[in-house]
Amino acid sequence: MAVVTVGVPAESAAGERRVALDPGAAAKLVKAGRVVLVEGGAGVAACFPDAAYTAAGATVTSRKEVLARSEVIAVVRFPDDGLVDDLRSGQLVIGLLDPLNHLATLEKLADRGVTAVAFELLPRTLSRAQSMDALSSQASAAGYRAAIVAAEAFGRYLPMMITASGTATPAKVIVIGTGVAGLQAIATTRRLGAVVTGYDVRAASRREVESLGAKFLTSSVSEGAGTGGYARALTDDEQKIEQSELAAALTSFDVIITTAKVPGRTPPVLVSAETVAALRCGSVCVDLGSSDRGGNVANSVEGLSTVTDGGVIVIGAGELASDLPTSSSQMYARNVVAVIASLVPADEIVVDPTDEVHRNIIVSHRGEVTSKAVREALKLDPVPSPKDSDAEAAEVNAS
């Protein structure tokens, strides 16, 4: 049987500097018996030259050749139109596909027989899925980078500084949302010497926040934890209460970092326009929840840094992991390798609908949309469970 070929095209999204496989991950795949094809220049922005891939045993070639010869295509962001048009039946594409924002295109790929795998749908609380958790790996990079971006934009010292000219008081930082990105932002701003507070509607987050040396602030909103310990979506009334409570607290902070990113949905506004207007001149808001659908901070614009009339700096930073391209790519590549090991254990793609990871992470397979979440968004009937299918087959055989 033919050896499975894994292809890595260059990313085309504006400002995207990551690559789906670094040379180290490519070497692992080659050692495992795969063929790896990399588009020329795909890793350059992440400081992985073509020569490094060649040394790892991969073949550097044209985009056309990568797409024509590969059974598995690894990407970071959703493929551009040209790549989508070139995908064919039997190929598997893996990436941060943001499926709920690309419903029509994914339905077309399903009709064409493409197997699409979206990291966003991974059941992240399964211990065996942790090595595949690209959302967490990229959130960690984004949280770290958010602290650096905030420090760069802030016009004062973050730590307390004692100098011959006097003492500078430390900056006060609040990180809203204490998931992976939030905890990394807390840890990094603490290392930089700021006085840090972590805010979360999940009271259970207190221990993690305080273990990093930060203060903990929560809401009066009852139990904000959702499935698996992640924050759930708040009701409209709960959001109003949360905004009101936050507004009273936020004006005492110099730096605000928000982390409530919701794939496929409009992010909640946590810092209202009125609150932004009440912040001191020179305050910085770094919005990791920013997207083309809005952000956690009123009037933040994804990818841009704006200054309000009151001198508040608002930074739309929804794709901040790309600002740390080398480390982000290395972590992401490990996630890709783990998914390939699960879905392509030997020389063919093997999808097990009874496997919880496969059942959730796969958007389409064998000509139809298989993801429950995506089917619901497309208003399609549910896919029969494996048990239902077996029972139906038994009835047919019996008749």
Q: 179 and 207 share a domain?
A: yes
pLDDT in tens, 154-201: 999 999 999 888 899 999 999 999 999 999 999 999 999 999 999 998
Q: 227 and 271 share a domain?
A: yes
pLDDT in tens, 294-335: 999 999 999 999 999 999 999 999 999 999 999 999 999 999
**Model-level pTM?**
0.90
Q: Is residue 329 part of a domain?
A: yes
| Mean of pLDDT over the chain | 91
pLDDT for 390 beyond 70: no
Q: Is residue 264 part of a domain?
A: yes
pLDDT confidence of residue 385: 67
Q: How many domains does the chain have?
A: 2
Angle at 245 between CA 299 and CA 261, to 5 degrees: 45
Give Cα 318 distance to the centre of its chain.
Answer: 9
pLDDT for 93 beyond 70: yes
Q: 182 and 222 share a domain?
A: yes
pLDDT in tens, 285-294: 999 999 988 9
Domain that holds residue 247: 144-318
Instruction: Collect all residues with Cβ–Cβ distance below 8 Å to 261 and sequence separation of at least 6.
Output: 181, 267, 288, 289, 291, 318
Other residues' Cβ atoms within 10 Å of the Cβ of residue 234: 19
Q: 118 and 152 share a domain?
A: no
Q: 108 and 169 share a domain?
A: no
Asked whether 96 and 118 are in contact (CB, 8 A), the reply is: yes
Q: Is residue 243 part of a domain?
A: yes
For the annotated catalytic residues, the residue numbers are 124, 130, 133, 136, 230
Q: 22 and 105 share a domain?
A: yes
Torsion sign (Cα): 103, 105, 111, 112:
negative
Q: Is residue 394 part of a domain?
A: no
Q: 120 and 158 share a domain?
A: no
> Which of 16-20, 46-50, 93-97, 298-302 is the least confident region?
298-302
Q: Is residue 112 part of a domain?
A: yes
**Among 335, 344, 333, CA closest to 26:** 333
Q: Residue 124: pLDDT band by 50, 70, 90 thresholds?
A: confident
Q: 149 and 245 share a domain?
A: yes
- Percentage with pLDDT > 70 across the chain: 92
Q: Is residue 99 part of a domain?
A: yes
Q: Residue 261: pLDDT band by 50, 70, 90 thresholds?
A: confident
Q: 160 and 286 share a domain?
A: yes
pLDDT for 391 beyond 60: no
Joined tokens for residue 101: 């924002």
pLDDT confidence of residue 392: 44
Q: Is residue 393 part of a domain?
A: no
Q: 182 and 309 share a domain?
A: yes
Residue 306 corresponds to which amino acid?
T
Joined tokens for residue 172: 């006060």
Q: 168 and 246 share a domain?
A: yes
Q: Is residue 389 part of a domain?
A: no
Asked whether 87 and 111 are in contact (CB, 8 A), the reply is: no
Q: Residue 395: pLDDT band by 50, 70, 90 thresholds?
A: very low
CA pair distance 216, 121, nearest whole angstrom:
30
- In the listed set 265, 288, 318, which residue is the last one of a domain according to the structure? 318
113: left (phi over 0), alpha (psi -120 to 50) or beta: left
- Give the CATH number of the domain where residue 292 resides: 3.40.50.720
Q: Residue 396: pLDDT band by 50, 70, 90 thresholds?
A: very low
Q: 279 and 168 share a domain?
A: yes
- In the listed set 318, 335, 367, which residue is the last one of a domain according to the structure? 318
- In the listed set 301, 318, 335, which residue is the last one of a domain according to the structure? 318
